[in-house]
Structure 1
């Protein structure tokens, strides 16, 4: 990785800041009562398809959005600093793919309570980014990126507990966490595949 690639330009802050700003703007509209229906992912329901694109922007409470804001911002900035060429691909397609898989995932809540689940919040996106950043550094075996992986593990290693249903509180979307983590891992493997091949060929 060249030194010039590690320069964080002000433009790199625009996507994370914009994403957080939109989240809080929508939460303000929610607080005013302008969004009364579910705008999250509702598995296997036509009305839940819109959640594939909208669910990370909606939150259920002030605590919910506050707990997601800082991790989402920090991880997004790290993404744009160390993986500039892949950043938009990971953010946009990871967002959509996670939503699609979540929509296709069996609605465990409905099977247990006969009530359809409504998955909202940016936590699935946070899991996707955290797992992408962690495993990308491991796969690429570059000192700087491995250090980034270690930092991610120290800051957000406890996220791994959120993928287990018996370790999260009722109403928390462990499915979204799990799917986001898997998508992040798959993106880390696939998007860095060519780089790994090139590095091996030079040895």
Structure 2
């Protein structure tokens, strides 16, 4: 076999296919999966600390309890509480993010803060409120409202089914 060094194709390679950013569904899965892993890491730290981490939840109408608005959704009372929240977090978090990462993260941030402030204002006093339930119920509400505003029967059905 001879090589033609004068050939215009000599020394060129077939370009590798261009890889763009991952699809939204992949990014959504990675983000919500990473969040779920974070919840388990925090629970491990909580157990190692003797359940001291979970005390950073929302304590209604106290100055220190305001910090809980930032931390409560990632803290859980025990493994059973965390396990009960895991599947809803994975499913609902994914459904919210897959509609658009930026929109889903913005909705999550709003839900996080409004849910925390609502808990701080209206929950029973002398108690510590923790858990991702505020996100779960907020995401269900978001999916339903989004379905109504987009007039998408499928989105409303998903929100109702969830």
- Structure 2: stretches of 5+ with no match in the other structure: 1-22
Q: Is the 8 A contact 2:24 2:100 kept in 1?
A: no
**What's the C-alpha RMSD, in Å, of the aligned pairs?**
1.8
Q: Is the 8 A contact 2:72 2:132 kept in 1?
A: yes
Q: Does 1:150 align with 2:160?
A: no
User: Relative to total residues, which structure has the larger helix share, 1 or 2?
Assistant: 1
Count how many residue pairs are aligned between Structure 1 and Structure 2. 139
- Structure 1: stretches of 5+ with no match in the other structure: 1-6, 111-115, 156-203
Alignment match of 2:29 (pick from 2, 5, 13): 13
Q: Which of 119-128 and 74-83 deviates more?
A: 74-83
Distance, in Å, in 2 between the alignment partners of 1:61 and 1:35 is 9
Q: What does the per-residue CA deviation read over 1:46-90, in whole Å, with 9 as the maximum and x for residues that have no partner?
A: 111111010011111211101101101111111111244411110
Q: Does 1:122 align with 2:132?
A: yes
- What TM-score results when the alignment is normalised by the length of structure 2? 0.77
Q: Does 1:40 align with 2:50?
A: no
Alignment match of 1:140 (pick from 126, 132, 150): 150
Distance, in Å, in 2 between the alignment partners of 1:85 and 1:121 is 23
Q: Secondary structure at the match of 1:80?
A: helix
Q: Secondary structure at the match of 1:151?
A: helix
Q: Does 1:72 align with 2:72?
A: no
The residue number in structure 2 matching 1:58 is 75
